[in-house]
Amino acid sequence: MNTNTTANPFETGTDELERLALEECVKRQRLDRRVSVLIMPALRCNLAAQFADMGAQVVMADSPDCQREIEGRILASGHRDELHFAPFALPELPSSEEGEPYDIIIFRRCLCRLPYSEAKEVIRSLMKKLRIGGKLYLSILGLHSALGEDYADAGEDVSQRFCELSAVNRQKYGIEGPVCLYSERNLFMLLLESGASVLRTATTTYGNVKAVAVRV
């Protein structure tokens, strides 16, 4: 039995946000058209495979260093026609036009690697990649998670908040370099200031924050 009770700020597996995105895919397929999905980053491709199993067209965006591994997973999945790899490195977005405009974009965690002003520009660009009525599912590391302990910029306005985690958390979670941690309200305002229409926000049990927004 696993007795480790340390909260995991990365929360692997299909979470509530991903479940909502999968349900949205089902709803859109009832309109008798193929659903187009962008996932950033692709991670271990499990979520992309679930969309592909449903018949969706999926672009899996990740670091160029991951291309060989991800393309190997695509071949092993049996979904060569549904899954496509696209390299990206923030603040630049994937340049692949496969599937654009997208019905669904899932953007997980890595936005915290940018200062708030740059994050807004990325969200604005992402919203342009959605079709009208398309939805963005966004998750980001939380200010009130374990990562926020002894975080030097915790008292700063989010527009000025960008620093390294504490030495203990850098070693514990392997996150090097400055990050911007968000409260739920910070994420709401980020989306609003980026021109998105916010449908919902939430704070997870681990203190990370998530949101669903739509292009109108």
Domain boundaries, given as residue ranges, for the chain? 16-214
Structure confidence at residue 46 (pLDDT): 87
Tokens of 167: 């030495």
Mean pLDDT of the chain: 90
Structure confidence at residue 4 (pLDDT): 37
The number of angstroms, rounded, from the C-alpha of 98 to the middle of its chain's C-alpha atoms is: 19
Q: Which helix (H) or strand (E) holds 112?
A: none
Nearest residue to 186 via CA among 141, 146, 152 = 141
**Residues 161, 116 contacting (CB under 8 angstroms):** yes
More confident residue, 97 or 158: 158
Is the pLDDT reported for residue 96 higher than 80?
Answer: no
Q: What is the largest CA-CA distance in the chain?
A: 52
More confident residue, 80 or 59: 59
pTM of the model: 0.90
Average pLDDT value for residue range 189-209: 96
Structure confidence at residue 120 (pLDDT): 97
Local confidence band at 97 (pLDDT 50, 70, 90 cut-offs) = low
Average pLDDT value for residue range 33-56: 89
Structure confidence at residue 10 (pLDDT): 39
**Residues 124, 191 contacting (CB under 8 angstroms):** no
Tokens of 156: 């700063």
**Residues 48, 42 contacting (CB under 8 angstroms):** yes
More confident residue, 3 or 210: 210
Structure confidence at residue 33 (pLDDT): 76
Phi, psi of 154 (to 5 degrees): -60, -35
- Amino acid (one-letter) located at 152: A
Structure confidence at residue 20 (pLDDT): 95
The CATH class of 16-214 is alpha beta
Nearest residue to 45 via CA among 64, 23, 67, 20 = 67
Angle, CA of 163, 18 and 97, to the nearest 5°: 80
Is the pLDDT reported for residue 11 higher than 70?
Answer: no
**Per-residue pLDDT tens for 99-132?**
789 999 999 989 999 999 999 999 999 999 999 9
